[in-house]
Protein backbone atom coordinates (compact mmCIF):
# COMPACT_ATOMS: atom_id res chain seq x y z
CA UNK A 1 0.00 0.00 0.00
CA UNK A 2 1.48 3.31 -0.97
CA UNK A 3 0.92 6.41 1.09
CA UNK A 4 -0.97 9.25 -0.59
CA UNK A 5 1.32 11.95 -1.85
CA UNK A 6 1.53 15.12 0.22
CA UNK A 7 0.51 17.77 -2.27
CA UNK A 8 2.31 20.83 -0.84
CA UNK A 9 5.81 21.47 0.54
CA UNK A 10 6.89 24.07 3.12
CA UNK A 11 6.93 27.55 1.70
CA UNK A 12 4.01 26.91 -0.61
CA UNK A 13 0.89 29.07 -0.10
CA UNK A 14 -1.19 26.43 1.71
CA UNK A 15 1.58 25.61 4.21
CA UNK A 16 2.20 29.29 4.83
CA UNK A 17 -1.44 29.74 5.77
CA UNK A 18 -1.30 26.84 8.18
CA UNK A 19 1.88 28.25 9.80
CA UNK A 20 0.36 31.69 10.05
CA UNK A 21 -2.82 30.37 11.66
CA UNK A 22 -0.87 28.12 14.04
CA UNK A 23 1.59 30.85 14.97
CA UNK A 24 -1.13 33.47 15.29
CA UNK A 25 -3.24 31.19 17.45
CA UNK A 26 -0.26 30.38 19.64
CA UNK A 27 0.67 34.05 20.01
CA UNK A 28 -2.92 34.94 20.86
CA UNK A 29 -3.12 32.27 23.54
CA UNK A 30 0.26 33.30 25.02
CA UNK A 31 -1.00 36.88 25.23
CA UNK A 32 -4.26 35.75 26.79
CA UNK A 33 -2.28 33.79 29.41
CA UNK A 34 0.09 36.60 30.27
CA UNK A 35 -2.24 39.59 30.12
CA UNK A 36 -4.28 38.58 33.19
CA UNK A 37 -1.10 37.64 35.06
CA UNK A 38 0.49 41.03 34.39
CA UNK A 39 -2.69 42.89 35.30
CA UNK A 40 -2.88 40.78 38.45
CA UNK A 41 0.60 41.90 39.52
CA UNK A 42 -0.45 45.56 39.59
CA UNK A 43 -2.81 46.08 42.54
CA UNK A 44 -6.01 48.10 42.13
CA UNK A 45 -5.63 51.79 42.97
CA UNK A 46 -6.89 52.78 46.40
CA UNK A 47 -9.00 55.92 46.40
CA UNK A 48 -7.10 58.85 47.92
CA UNK A 49 -8.56 60.09 51.15
CA UNK A 50 -10.82 62.98 50.26
CA UNK A 51 -10.84 64.59 53.69
CA UNK A 52 -9.40 68.05 53.37
CA UNK A 53 -8.88 68.66 57.05
CA UNK A 54 -8.02 66.77 60.19
CA UNK A 55 -7.60 67.45 63.89
CA UNK A 56 -3.84 67.21 64.29
CA UNK A 57 -3.57 67.88 68.02
CA UNK A 58 -5.18 69.46 71.06
CA UNK A 59 -4.30 73.04 71.90
CA UNK A 60 -2.32 72.24 75.04
CA UNK A 61 -0.66 69.16 73.57
CA UNK A 62 2.43 70.67 71.97
CA UNK A 63 5.03 72.64 73.86
CA UNK A 64 6.82 75.48 72.12
CA UNK A 65 9.71 74.41 69.87
CA UNK A 66 8.43 70.85 69.38
CA UNK A 67 6.86 68.88 66.58
CA UNK A 68 4.47 65.97 66.16
CA UNK A 69 3.72 63.51 63.39
CA UNK A 70 0.04 63.03 62.67
CA UNK A 71 -1.94 61.05 60.15
CA UNK A 72 -3.31 63.09 57.26
CA UNK A 73 -5.24 60.84 54.88
CA UNK A 74 -2.96 57.91 54.19
CA UNK A 75 0.28 59.86 54.67
CA UNK A 76 2.18 61.18 57.68
CA UNK A 77 2.24 64.94 58.21
CA UNK A 78 4.15 67.15 60.64
CA UNK A 79 2.72 69.73 62.99
CA UNK A 80 5.32 72.12 64.44
CA UNK A 81 4.83 74.62 67.24
CA UNK A 82 7.51 77.21 66.75
CA UNK A 83 9.52 78.86 69.52
CA UNK A 84 7.19 81.90 69.36
CA UNK A 85 4.11 79.72 69.73
CA UNK A 86 2.83 79.65 66.16
CA UNK A 87 1.74 76.47 64.39
CA UNK A 88 3.08 75.16 61.10
CA UNK A 89 1.87 72.07 59.29
CA UNK A 90 3.57 70.33 56.39
CA UNK A 91 3.67 66.94 54.78
CA UNK A 92 6.18 64.73 56.60
CA UNK A 93 7.17 62.83 53.47
CA UNK A 94 10.67 63.85 52.40
CA UNK A 95 10.81 64.87 48.74
CA UNK A 96 14.11 63.06 48.31
CA UNK A 97 13.38 59.37 48.91
CA UNK A 98 10.12 59.18 50.82
CA UNK A 99 11.40 58.97 54.41
CA UNK A 100 9.46 60.59 57.23
CA UNK A 101 10.96 63.89 58.42
CA UNK A 102 11.05 65.27 61.97
CA UNK A 103 11.34 68.64 63.74
CA UNK A 104 14.79 69.38 65.17
CA UNK A 105 14.45 71.64 68.20
CA UNK A 106 18.20 72.35 68.23
CA UNK A 107 18.23 73.61 64.62
CA UNK A 108 14.67 75.02 64.53
CA UNK A 109 14.40 73.24 61.21
CA UNK A 110 12.88 70.11 59.71
CA UNK A 111 15.31 67.26 59.29
CA UNK A 112 15.26 63.96 57.42
CA UNK A 113 17.36 61.32 59.20
CA UNK A 114 17.73 59.10 56.15
CA UNK A 115 20.05 61.23 54.02
CA UNK A 116 20.50 64.36 56.12
CA UNK A 117 18.11 66.63 54.25
CA UNK A 118 17.06 69.95 55.87
CA UNK A 119 14.00 72.14 55.33
CA UNK A 120 13.09 75.44 56.95
CA UNK A 121 9.74 75.98 58.65
CA UNK A 122 8.20 77.17 55.38
CA UNK A 123 9.04 73.75 53.95
CA UNK A 124 11.79 75.05 51.68
CA UNK A 125 14.61 72.57 51.06
CA UNK A 126 17.65 74.35 52.50
CA UNK A 127 20.39 71.76 52.37
CA UNK A 128 21.17 68.14 51.60
CA UNK A 129 19.71 66.04 48.81
CA UNK A 130 15.97 66.98 48.80
CA UNK A 131 15.04 68.31 45.36
CA UNK A 132 11.75 70.07 46.20
CA UNK A 133 10.10 71.86 49.13
CA UNK A 134 7.61 70.12 51.42
CA UNK A 135 3.93 70.80 50.78
CA UNK A 136 2.53 73.11 53.47
CA UNK A 137 -0.94 73.08 54.99
CA UNK A 138 -3.07 75.69 56.73
CA UNK A 139 -3.47 75.55 60.50
CA UNK A 140 -6.42 76.93 62.46
CA UNK A 141 -7.15 76.69 66.13
CA UNK A 142 -10.83 75.88 66.62
CA UNK A 143 -11.70 75.77 70.29
CA UNK A 144 -9.63 72.97 71.80
CA UNK A 145 -8.52 71.55 68.47
CA UNK A 146 -5.62 72.35 66.17
CA UNK A 147 -7.11 71.76 62.73
CA UNK A 148 -4.94 71.26 59.65
CA UNK A 149 -6.44 71.92 56.22
CA UNK A 150 -5.13 71.15 52.76
CA UNK A 151 -4.69 74.32 50.73
CA UNK A 152 -7.29 74.72 48.02
CA UNK B 1 32.73 -0.58 53.27
CA UNK B 2 34.55 -0.06 50.00
CA UNK B 3 33.02 -3.28 48.67
CA UNK B 4 29.53 -2.11 49.56
CA UNK B 5 30.18 1.25 47.89
CA UNK B 6 31.43 -0.49 44.74
CA UNK B 7 28.39 -2.76 44.69
CA UNK B 8 26.00 0.16 45.10
CA UNK B 9 27.79 2.05 42.37
CA UNK B 10 27.66 -0.92 40.02
CA UNK B 11 23.96 -1.34 40.74
CA UNK B 12 23.28 2.31 39.95
CA UNK B 13 25.60 2.23 36.97
CA UNK B 14 23.59 -0.60 35.43
CA UNK B 15 20.41 1.48 35.83
CA UNK B 16 21.40 4.96 34.66
CA UNK B 17 25.12 5.06 34.08
CA UNK B 18 26.13 6.41 37.51
CA UNK B 19 29.73 5.82 36.53
CA UNK B 20 29.54 8.84 34.24
CA UNK B 21 28.34 10.94 37.21
CA UNK B 22 31.34 9.78 39.21
CA UNK B 23 33.54 10.46 36.22
CA UNK B 24 32.03 13.96 35.97
CA UNK B 25 32.88 14.55 39.64
CA UNK B 26 36.37 13.14 39.34
CA UNK B 27 37.56 14.86 36.20
CA UNK B 28 37.93 18.28 37.86
CA UNK B 29 41.28 19.09 39.42
CA UNK B 30 42.37 22.04 41.51
CA UNK B 31 45.57 23.80 40.45
CA UNK B 32 47.90 24.27 43.40
CA UNK B 33 49.81 27.57 43.48
CA UNK B 34 50.30 30.64 45.65
CA UNK B 35 46.76 31.95 44.97
CA UNK B 36 44.97 28.64 45.62
CA UNK B 37 43.42 29.92 48.86
CA UNK B 38 40.91 31.95 46.82
CA UNK B 39 39.41 28.76 45.44
CA UNK B 40 37.75 28.18 48.81
CA UNK B 41 35.43 31.18 48.72
CA UNK B 42 33.01 29.91 46.08
CA UNK B 43 32.43 26.70 48.02
CA UNK B 44 32.11 28.67 51.25
CA UNK B 45 29.41 30.87 49.68
CA UNK B 46 27.60 27.73 48.53
CA UNK B 47 27.77 26.27 52.02
CA UNK B 48 26.35 29.43 53.59
CA UNK B 49 23.59 29.40 50.96
CA UNK B 50 22.65 25.90 52.11
CA UNK B 51 22.65 27.12 55.73
CA UNK B 52 20.27 29.89 54.59
CA UNK B 53 18.00 27.38 52.92
CA UNK B 54 17.79 25.15 56.00
CA UNK B 55 17.44 27.90 58.62
CA UNK B 56 15.00 29.71 56.30
CA UNK B 57 12.75 26.66 56.21
CA UNK B 58 12.87 26.51 60.02
CA UNK B 59 11.93 30.20 60.30
CA UNK B 60 8.91 29.54 58.08
CA UNK B 61 7.45 27.31 60.79
CA UNK B 62 6.72 30.33 63.00
CA UNK B 63 6.88 33.44 60.83
CA UNK B 64 3.64 35.18 59.78
CA UNK B 65 3.90 37.68 56.89
CA UNK B 66 1.31 40.32 57.84
CA UNK B 67 1.94 43.80 59.28
CA UNK B 68 0.02 42.98 62.46
CA UNK B 69 1.76 39.66 63.04
CA UNK B 70 5.22 39.77 61.47
CA UNK B 71 7.06 41.62 64.24
CA UNK B 72 5.22 39.72 66.97
CA UNK B 73 5.85 36.34 65.35
CA UNK B 74 9.59 37.01 65.18
CA UNK B 75 9.49 38.29 68.76
CA UNK B 76 7.67 35.13 69.83
CA UNK B 77 10.17 32.99 67.94
CA UNK B 78 13.22 34.54 69.59
CA UNK B 79 11.79 34.76 73.11
CA UNK B 80 9.49 31.73 73.48
CA UNK B 81 10.46 29.07 70.97
CA UNK B 82 13.37 26.94 72.11
CA UNK B 83 16.48 27.89 70.12
CA UNK B 84 14.39 30.31 68.07
CA UNK B 85 16.94 33.03 68.84
CA UNK B 86 19.68 30.74 67.57
CA UNK B 87 17.97 29.85 64.29
CA UNK B 88 17.09 33.47 63.54
CA UNK B 89 20.53 34.78 64.47
CA UNK B 90 22.25 32.14 62.37
CA UNK B 91 20.02 33.05 59.43
CA UNK B 92 20.96 36.73 59.78
CA UNK B 93 24.66 36.16 60.39
CA UNK B 94 24.94 33.55 57.67
CA UNK B 95 23.22 35.94 55.25
CA UNK B 96 25.77 38.63 55.98
CA UNK B 97 28.73 36.27 55.85
CA UNK B 98 27.40 34.83 52.59
CA UNK B 99 27.30 38.27 51.02
CA UNK B 100 30.81 38.89 52.29
CA UNK B 101 32.21 35.60 50.92
CA UNK B 102 30.33 36.15 47.63
CA UNK B 103 32.05 39.54 47.28
CA UNK B 104 35.45 38.02 48.15
CA UNK B 105 34.81 35.25 45.61
CA UNK B 106 33.79 37.78 42.96
CA UNK B 107 36.79 40.05 43.48
CA UNK B 108 39.24 37.14 43.60
CA UNK B 109 37.85 35.87 40.29
CA UNK B 110 38.18 39.41 38.97
CA UNK B 111 41.78 40.01 40.00
CA UNK B 112 42.97 36.52 39.06
CA UNK B 113 41.29 37.07 35.66
CA UNK B 114 39.39 33.80 35.92
CA UNK B 115 36.59 35.32 33.82
CA UNK B 116 38.66 35.20 30.64
CA UNK B 117 37.76 32.86 27.80
CA UNK B 118 36.19 30.27 28.08
CA UNK B 119 34.64 31.24 31.44
CA UNK B 120 32.68 34.37 30.44
CA UNK B 121 29.32 32.74 31.13
CA UNK B 122 30.44 31.49 34.52
CA UNK B 123 31.22 35.11 35.40
CA UNK B 124 27.88 36.39 34.09
CA UNK B 125 25.91 33.70 35.95
CA UNK B 126 27.92 34.47 39.09
CA UNK B 127 27.18 38.19 38.83
CA UNK B 128 23.47 37.47 38.38
CA UNK B 129 23.66 35.28 41.47
CA UNK B 130 25.28 38.15 43.37
CA UNK B 131 22.40 40.46 42.39
CA UNK B 132 19.93 37.80 43.48
CA UNK B 133 21.74 37.45 46.79
CA UNK B 134 21.46 41.22 47.28
CA UNK B 135 17.77 40.90 46.42
CA UNK B 136 17.50 38.25 49.12
CA UNK B 137 19.14 40.67 51.54
CA UNK B 138 16.85 43.56 50.60
CA UNK B 139 13.62 41.54 50.73
CA UNK B 140 14.54 39.57 53.83
CA UNK B 141 15.46 42.74 55.69
CA UNK B 142 11.83 43.91 55.65
CA UNK B 143 10.31 40.68 56.94
CA UNK B 144 10.68 41.35 60.72
CA UNK B 145 8.71 44.57 60.05
CA UNK B 146 10.84 46.81 62.26
CA UNK B 147 11.45 50.54 61.95
CA UNK B 148 14.86 50.30 60.27
CA UNK B 149 13.56 47.83 57.71
CA UNK B 150 10.47 49.91 57.04
CA UNK B 151 12.46 53.02 56.10
CA UNK B 152 15.15 51.07 54.26
CA UNK B 153 12.40 49.59 52.11
CA UNK B 154 10.80 53.00 51.57
CA UNK B 155 14.08 54.44 50.36
CA UNK B 156 15.07 51.42 48.27
CA UNK B 157 11.75 51.16 46.46
CA UNK B 158 11.55 54.95 46.03
CA UNK B 159 14.90 54.78 44.23
CA UNK B 160 13.45 52.24 41.83
CA UNK B 161 10.48 54.57 41.45
CA UNK B 162 12.59 57.52 40.34
CA UNK B 163 13.76 55.74 37.20
CA UNK B 164 12.21 57.46 34.15
CA UNK B 165 9.37 55.75 32.24
CA UNK B 166 9.22 52.39 34.04
CA UNK B 167 9.93 53.75 37.54
CA UNK B 168 6.33 54.28 38.59
CA UNK B 169 5.40 50.81 37.39
CA UNK B 170 8.33 49.23 39.25
CA UNK B 171 7.45 51.10 42.44
CA UNK B 172 3.84 49.86 42.36
CA UNK B 173 5.01 46.36 41.48
CA UNK B 174 7.47 46.27 44.37
CA UNK B 175 5.28 47.95 46.99
CA UNK B 176 1.99 46.45 45.94
CA UNK B 177 0.60 49.98 45.98
CA UNK B 178 1.70 53.58 46.31
CA UNK B 179 3.09 53.25 49.83
CA UNK B 180 5.06 50.70 51.84
CA UNK B 181 2.26 48.77 53.59
CA UNK B 182 1.24 45.25 54.48
CA UNK B 183 0.89 44.62 50.74
CA UNK B 184 4.63 45.27 50.42
CA UNK B 185 5.39 42.83 53.22
CA UNK B 186 3.34 40.09 51.55
CA UNK B 187 5.11 40.66 48.25
CA UNK B 188 8.58 40.76 49.73
CA UNK B 189 7.79 37.55 51.58
CA UNK B 190 6.79 35.92 48.30
CA UNK B 191 9.94 37.16 46.57
CA UNK B 192 12.12 36.06 49.48
CA UNK B 193 10.79 32.53 49.94
CA UNK B 194 9.60 31.57 46.46
CA UNK B 195 10.73 33.71 43.52
CA UNK B 196 14.33 34.34 44.52
CA UNK B 197 15.03 30.78 45.75
CA UNK B 198 13.75 29.42 42.44
CA UNK B 199 15.91 31.82 40.42
CA UNK B 200 18.91 31.29 42.68
CA UNK B 201 18.74 27.51 42.58
CA UNK B 202 18.40 27.44 38.80
CA UNK B 203 21.27 29.87 38.26
CA UNK B 204 23.36 28.10 40.88
CA UNK B 205 22.93 24.79 39.06
CA UNK B 206 24.07 26.45 35.83
CA UNK B 207 26.99 28.16 37.59
CA UNK B 208 28.19 24.93 39.22
CA UNK B 209 27.76 22.94 36.03
CA UNK B 210 29.92 25.45 34.18
CA UNK B 211 32.56 25.36 36.91
CA UNK B 212 32.57 21.57 36.85
CA UNK B 213 32.65 21.40 33.05
CA UNK B 214 35.36 24.01 32.52
CA UNK B 215 37.48 23.22 35.56
CA UNK B 216 39.32 25.77 37.66
CA UNK B 217 41.13 28.66 36.05
CA UNK B 218 44.85 29.06 36.62
CA UNK B 219 45.81 32.74 37.02
CA UNK B 220 47.69 34.13 33.97
CA UNK B 221 50.79 34.88 36.05
CA UNK B 222 51.02 31.28 37.24
CA UNK B 223 50.32 29.98 33.73
CA UNK B 224 53.19 32.06 32.42
CA UNK B 225 55.56 30.88 35.13
CA UNK B 226 54.71 27.24 34.33
CA UNK B 227 55.22 27.74 30.59
CA UNK B 228 58.56 29.47 31.20
CA UNK B 229 59.57 26.66 33.52
CA UNK B 230 59.90 28.86 36.60
CA UNK B 231 57.18 26.96 38.37
CA UNK B 232 56.03 23.34 38.33
CA UNK B 233 52.45 22.51 37.50
CA UNK B 234 50.81 20.95 40.55
CA UNK B 235 47.24 19.76 40.84
CA UNK B 236 44.93 18.12 43.36
CA UNK B 237 41.80 16.10 42.55
CA UNK B 238 38.66 18.04 43.45
CA UNK B 239 36.81 14.91 44.51
CA UNK B 240 37.45 13.91 47.22
CA UNK B 241 40.73 15.70 48.13
CA UNK B 242 39.77 19.35 47.71
CA UNK B 243 36.18 18.76 48.76
CA UNK B 244 37.39 17.37 52.09
CA UNK B 245 39.45 20.52 52.60
CA UNK B 246 36.37 22.56 51.70
CA UNK B 247 34.43 20.67 54.34
CA UNK B 248 36.95 21.50 57.05
CA UNK B 249 36.30 25.13 56.19
CA UNK B 250 32.54 24.60 56.33
CA UNK B 251 32.82 22.89 59.69
CA UNK B 252 34.78 25.87 61.00
CA UNK B 253 32.19 28.23 59.47
CA UNK B 254 29.44 26.47 61.41
CA UNK B 255 31.41 27.06 64.59
CA UNK B 256 31.89 30.73 63.73
CA UNK B 257 28.17 31.09 62.95
CA UNK B 258 27.16 29.50 66.23
CA UNK B 259 29.58 31.70 68.17
CA UNK B 260 28.45 34.90 66.43
CA UNK B 261 24.78 34.01 66.95
CA UNK B 262 25.36 33.27 70.63
CA UNK B 263 27.61 36.23 71.44
CA UNK B 264 26.00 38.82 69.16
CA UNK B 265 22.35 37.77 68.71
CA UNK B 266 20.69 39.73 65.90
CA UNK B 267 18.69 42.75 67.11
CA UNK B 268 14.98 42.88 66.41
CA UNK B 269 14.56 46.63 67.01
CA UNK B 270 11.19 48.33 67.37
CA UNK B 271 8.03 47.58 65.43
CA UNK B 272 7.55 49.62 62.25
CA UNK B 273 5.20 52.57 62.54
CA UNK B 274 4.15 54.23 59.30
CA UNK B 275 3.34 57.41 61.24
CA UNK B 276 6.60 57.97 63.06
CA UNK B 277 9.64 59.93 61.92
CA UNK B 278 12.65 58.09 60.55
CA UNK B 279 14.97 57.57 63.54
CA UNK B 280 18.32 59.38 63.69
CA UNK B 281 21.32 57.32 62.64
CA UNK B 282 19.27 55.23 60.23
CA UNK B 283 21.27 53.38 57.59
CA UNK B 284 20.96 50.30 55.43
CA UNK B 285 22.81 46.99 55.68
CA UNK B 286 26.58 47.31 55.30
CA UNK B 287 26.68 46.06 51.71
CA UNK B 288 24.47 48.93 50.57
CA UNK B 289 26.39 51.56 52.57
CA UNK B 290 28.61 52.80 49.73
CA UNK B 291 25.54 53.56 47.62
CA UNK B 292 23.75 55.11 50.59
CA UNK B 293 26.67 57.43 51.30
CA UNK B 294 26.92 58.44 47.66
CA UNK B 295 23.23 59.40 47.74
CA UNK B 296 23.88 61.54 50.79
CA UNK B 297 26.66 63.46 49.07
CA UNK B 298 24.86 64.02 45.77
CA UNK B 299 23.25 67.47 45.70
CA UNK B 300 19.58 67.80 44.78
CA UNK B 301 20.44 68.88 41.24
CA UNK B 302 23.51 68.20 39.12
CA UNK B 303 23.08 70.58 36.16
CA UNK B 304 19.46 69.76 35.30
CA UNK B 305 19.34 66.13 36.49
CA UNK B 306 18.04 65.07 39.91
CA UNK B 307 20.96 64.02 42.08
CA UNK B 308 19.47 60.70 43.10
CA UNK B 309 18.71 59.81 39.48
CA UNK B 310 22.33 60.47 38.60
CA UNK B 311 23.37 58.15 41.43
CA UNK B 312 21.05 55.37 40.33
CA UNK B 313 22.18 55.68 36.72
CA UNK B 314 25.81 55.74 37.77
CA UNK B 315 25.52 52.57 39.81
CA UNK B 316 23.39 50.77 37.21
CA UNK B 317 25.86 51.63 34.46
CA UNK B 318 28.78 50.53 36.63
CA UNK B 319 27.04 47.23 37.41
CA UNK B 320 26.36 46.60 33.71
CA UNK B 321 29.97 47.31 32.78
CA UNK B 322 31.10 45.01 35.60
CA UNK B 323 28.89 42.14 34.35
CA UNK B 324 30.21 42.67 30.82
CA UNK B 325 33.84 42.72 31.97
CA UNK B 326 34.91 39.44 30.28
CA UNK B 327 33.74 40.87 26.96
CA UNK B 328 35.44 44.25 27.48
CA UNK B 329 38.74 42.83 28.74
CA UNK B 330 39.52 41.43 25.28
CA UNK B 331 43.28 41.58 25.31
CA UNK B 332 43.62 39.24 28.21
CA UNK B 333 44.80 35.76 27.36
CA UNK B 334 47.08 32.89 28.14
CA UNK B 335 49.78 34.16 30.48
CA UNK B 336 48.84 37.78 29.84
CA UNK B 337 47.19 40.19 32.26
CA UNK B 338 45.60 43.56 31.57
CA UNK B 339 46.73 46.27 33.92
CA UNK B 340 43.95 48.73 33.15
CA UNK B 341 41.27 46.30 34.30
CA UNK B 342 43.17 45.42 37.46
CA UNK B 343 43.35 49.16 38.17
CA UNK B 344 39.61 49.50 37.62
CA UNK B 345 39.04 46.70 40.14
CA UNK B 346 41.27 48.39 42.71
CA UNK B 347 39.32 51.61 42.18
CA UNK B 348 35.98 49.84 42.71
CA UNK B 349 37.13 48.14 45.92
CA UNK B 350 38.65 51.41 47.12
CA UNK B 351 35.46 53.34 46.38
CA UNK B 352 33.28 50.80 48.17
CA UNK B 353 35.54 50.72 51.22
CA UNK B 354 36.04 54.47 51.55
CA UNK B 355 32.34 55.29 51.12
CA UNK B 356 31.27 52.53 53.51
CA UNK B 357 33.73 53.84 56.05
CA UNK B 358 32.42 57.38 55.62
CA UNK B 359 28.90 56.11 56.21
CA UNK B 360 29.90 54.37 59.43
CA UNK B 361 31.85 57.29 60.80
Give per-residue pLDDT as tens, B302-349: 777 777 888 889 999 999 999 999 999 988 777 777 889 999 999 999
Binary contact (B280, A113; C-beta < 8 A): yes
Q: Tell whether B278 lies on the interface with A, counting CB pairs under 8 A.
A: yes
pLDDT of residue A14: 83
Residues 85 through 124 of chain A touching chain B, CB cutoff 8 Å: 92, 96-102, 112-116
Lowest mean pLDDT among A17-31, A51-65, B75-89, B135-149: A51-65
Say which of A42, A115, A125 has its CB closest to residue B173: A42
* Cβ neighbours of B178 in A, within 8 Å: 46, 74
pLDDT in tens, B293-304: 998 888 877 777
Q: Which residues contact A42 (CB under 8 A, 6 or more apart)?
A: B169, B172, B173
Beta bridge partners of A87: A81
Binary contact (B308, A75; C-beta < 8 A): no
Q: Tell whether A46 lies on the interface with B, counting CB pairs under 8 A.
A: yes
* Cβ neighbours of A98 in B, within 8 Å: 154-155, 157-158
Binary contact (A99, B169; C-beta < 8 A): no
Helix (H) or strand (E) holding B224: helix B220-227
pLDDT in tens, B106-160: 999 999 999 999 999 999 999 999 999 999 999 999 999 999 999 999 989 998 8
pLDDT in tens, B69-95: 999 999 999 999 999 999 999 999 999
Most A CBs within 10 Å, among B300, B303, B359, to test the A interface = B300
Q: Which residues contact A124 (CB under 8 A, 6 or more apart)?
A: A133
**DSSP result, A53-114:** EEEEEETTTSPTTEEEEEEETTEEEEEEE-TTS-EEEEE-B-TTTSPBPEEETTTTEEEETT
Q: Tell whether B256 lies on the interface with A, counting CB pairs under 8 A.
A: no
d(CA B290, CA B359): 7
* Cβ neighbours of B154 in A, within 8 Å: 97-99
Say which of B151, B177, B274 has its CB closest to residue A43: B177
Residues 61 through 80 of chain A touching chain B, CB cutoff 8 Å: 69-71, 74-76, 78
* Chain A nearest C-alpha distance from B131 (Å): 22
* Cβ neighbours of B277 in A, within 8 Å: 69, 76, 78, 92, 100-102, 113
* Cβ neighbours of B295 in A, within 8 Å: 97, 115, 129
Q: Are strands A125-127 and A117-119 parallel, antiparallel or unpaired?
A: antiparallel
* Chain B nearest C-alpha distance from A103 (Å): 9
Assessment of whether the complete model's pTM goes beyond 0.80: yes
The dihedral built from the CA positions of residue B291, B71, B139 and A69, taken in this order, carries a sign that is: negative
Helix (H) or strand (E) holding A127: strand A125-127
Q: Tally the C-alpha atoms within 13 A of residue B102's C-alpha that lie toward its C-beta.
A: 24
d(CA B143, CA B185): 7
Q: Which domains are delineated in chain B?
A: 285-361 (1.10.287)
pLDDT in tens, B21-70: 778 777 888 999 999 999 999 999 999 999 999 999 999 999 999 999 99
Using the predicted structure, report yes or no on whether residue A6 has a pLDDT greater than 70: no
d(CA A26, CA A39): 20
Residues 170 through 199 of chain B touching chain A, CB cutoff 8 Å: 172-173, 176-179, 183
Amino acid sequence: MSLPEIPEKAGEPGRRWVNLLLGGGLAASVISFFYPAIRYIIPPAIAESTSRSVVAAKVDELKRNTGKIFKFGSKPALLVRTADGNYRALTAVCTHLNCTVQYRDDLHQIWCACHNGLYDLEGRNVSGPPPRPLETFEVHVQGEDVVVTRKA
Amino acid sequence: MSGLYRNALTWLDERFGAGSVEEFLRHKTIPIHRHSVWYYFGGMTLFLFIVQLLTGILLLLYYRPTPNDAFESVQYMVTQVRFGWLIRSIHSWSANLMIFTAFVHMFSVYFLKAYRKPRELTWVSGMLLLFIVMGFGFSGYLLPWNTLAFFATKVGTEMAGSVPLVGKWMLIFLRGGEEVTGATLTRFFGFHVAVLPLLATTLLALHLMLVQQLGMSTPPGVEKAIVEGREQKRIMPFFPNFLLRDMIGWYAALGVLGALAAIFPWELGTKADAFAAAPAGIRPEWYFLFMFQTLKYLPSKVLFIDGELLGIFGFSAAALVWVAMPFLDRRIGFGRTTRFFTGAGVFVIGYMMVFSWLALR
